[in-house]
A and B are shown apart, each in its own frame.
Chain A
Amino acid sequence: MILKPRKRVWWLALILLVISFNTQANLTIRITQGSDKATPIALVPFAWRGSGALPEDVARIVADNLERTGLFAPVPRENLVSLPSEASEVIYRDWRLLDVNYLLVGSIAEEDNQLRINYELFDVVSQERIFGETVTAKRSQLRSRAHFVSDRIYEKLTGQRGIFSTRMAYVTAEQLSGRADYQFRLHVADADGQRSRTILTSREPLLSPDWSPDGKKLAYVSFERGRPAIYIQEVATGSRYQLTNFRGLNGAPAWSPDGKKLAMTLSRDGNPEIYIYHLEEKRLIRVTHHYAIDTEPSWSPDGKNIIFTSSRSGGPQIYRVNLQSGNIDRLSFEGNYNARARYSPDGKEIFMVHRESGGGLFSIAGLNMDTGRLRTLTTSPLDESPSVAPNGSMVIYALMQGDQGVLGVVSTDGRIQYELPAERGDVREPAWSPFLN
């Protein structure tokens, strides 16, 4: 049955929800594969014209953000020849000697309890000012503004929207005393792993978080009542409700691109099948009809197709169902295990868990939808849960690092990889948010 919202919302929220804004469970970043083709860029520390110390180092945050894309190589600070903070102080010759292509300078001034951030970006090679602007922020918003500045610079230099103001959801599992004694937590953090906060704590498994297209809600699976059910939770307020309570599996929720529907896996009819639930009309439609396992639905960006994992050929492979005609075609042929595929935002490629025929590694691979060409992006043994950044440049996934589950990110061109380990517990089930600004 589909549960009505509201009725259960508040007591569930009271009993189960633990919102702790101060929880320090941030993920650190460890770059494991850098790019040798990255463009050198100098990011000068922003001049500070105010009292006290600033809570954040804006130029440092921008440098770290740009470095993680694999497209830029920030010059180490100790190599900076001078510290200009505005155009009049920039001497191009100095920066050409440093062999950098781009230069960012800026300043932060305090006026009426507001911070005014001025910044300017220069092309050192052509000796031109590319752009500059002023943004304001409260002190508490400084980190968000640093991500915003990163987005602006990235977009000016690459022509592609930046993902530095996006967030990610993920699950941690921390083993307590007993063998089957775990603390599961659902977290939301900035794309750089910082400012993590726990939005749900449970002693029972949590999995499959999926962002609504407006970035305001998460659908996920929780076992908090002893069996799996799909819940929907508002990220900002924490209010949540149980959406499904069918017999058997209630899993793999996936928002449609218009946010009006949720695809899911239910076994209410005896077998795992894909269903679509219309949230406004409160109508459930069954999509697949097969005695094999059908699960892990994901919508094409245009909302016309759903790709899913099916064992109808014997082992798991990726299939696509056209929602208008109902036609189903098989997409993956290489390898003996292909599962949990997710579309790139342009719909041209899907990213999935892939195991070569005869091979033992479960890797993240991209499958080109036009050419059918498959490329493997990762090489650790147990990679899973790929989630694509909204600009299509990166894929976040879960891997085992020794005996700890950590998150990994790989650029979709394969140039750069980094890991986001937590201080304790296994990290898993990452979901990259849509653009939030």
Chain B
Amino acid sequence: MDLMKYSKPFALAAILALVAGCGGGAATQPTDEEEVTAEEVQTSDEDSAETAGAAEEEAANAEAMAEEDAVERPEVMTIYFDFDKSNIRSEFYEDLNAHAAYLQANPDSKVVLEGHADERGTREYNMALGERRGNSVQRYLSLQGVASEQMEVVSYGEERLAVRNASTSEEHQQNRRVEFVY
């Protein structure tokens, strides 16, 4: 499934904004004829609600056009985040694009984006962090054209660890995640 297929100028600008906000690692992202100014980049990153609203309409169109066939549910159901961060790492764009394609091809399917944190730090702060991670994924998928009714973010903070009693940085990493629950 080609990312470009559903890209509309505004959505694309915002995708680039997300990428720009992530600070590098975006070499594989497509460029486009649409010029994006630095100012627009900032605005669209922070005004997520409006952007998502605009993307909703687009998503509706995209949905109508989406082919119902042959898009399989992606195998990768979890993506990971850095400590105290909620930006999407570039290595996961491909996985997210696959989920976007699946959701668009299956407009009746719904996904809960479960945001999680590792157990370091405080529970309510981690609850907020988990939600931000879920929102980052939701925003990205929304910009790909996924209808907002198909997605819901629930943060569990550090209440549902993938690895209990994590001590190494690899183990902590396993806990800082967003899980796709279809």
Contact = CB atoms under 8 A, between A and B. Distances in A.
Interface of A: 175, 180, 205, 207-208, 223, 226-228, 248-249, 251-252, 265, 267, 270, 272, 291, 293, 295-296, 309, 311, 315-316, 337, 339-340, 353, 362, 382, 384-385, 400, 403, 428-429
Contact of B160 (A205, A249, A382, A429): A205
A226 B155 CA distance: 10
Contacts of B127: 207, 228, 249, 251, 265, 295
B124 A316 contact: no
A403 B164 contact: yes
A13 to B, nearest CB: 23
B165 A400 contact: yes
Interface residues of B, number: 26
Given A362-B120, A400-B165, A295 B154 contact: no
A362 B121 contact: yes
Contacts of A267: 128, 131
A311 to B, nearest CB: 8
Contacts of A252: 124
Most chain B CB atoms below 10 A, which of A251, A382, A400: A251
Contacts, number: 87
B49 interface: yes
Interface string B93-126: 0000000000000000000000000011111110
B131 A339 contact: no
B125 A296 contact: yes
10 contacts: A207-B124, A207-B157, A248-B131, A251-B124, A270-B48, A270-B49, A272-B132, A340-B123, A428-B123, A429-B123
Nearest to A316: B125
Contact of B156 (A223, A296, A382): A223
Contacts of B125: 293, 295-296, 309, 311, 316, 339-340
Contacts of A382: 119-120
B159 interface: yes
Nearest to A250: B127
B153 interface: yes
B168 to A, nearest CB: 12
Given A180-B160, A205-B159, A272 B121 contact: no
B159 A272 contact: no
Interface string B143-182: 0000000000111110110001100000000000000000
9 closest cross-chain pairs (CB), A and B = A205-B159, A272-B128, A403-B165, A340-B122, A293-B128, A339-B122, A252-B124, A270-B49, A295-B128
Contacts of A296: 122, 124-125
B135 to A, nearest CB: 8
A226 to B, nearest CB: 7
Given A223-B159, A249-B155, A403-B164, A339 B128 contact: no
Given A226-B154, A385-B123, 8 more contacts: A205-B160, A223-B159, A267-B131, A272-B128, A309-B125, A316-B125, A384-B123, A429-B123
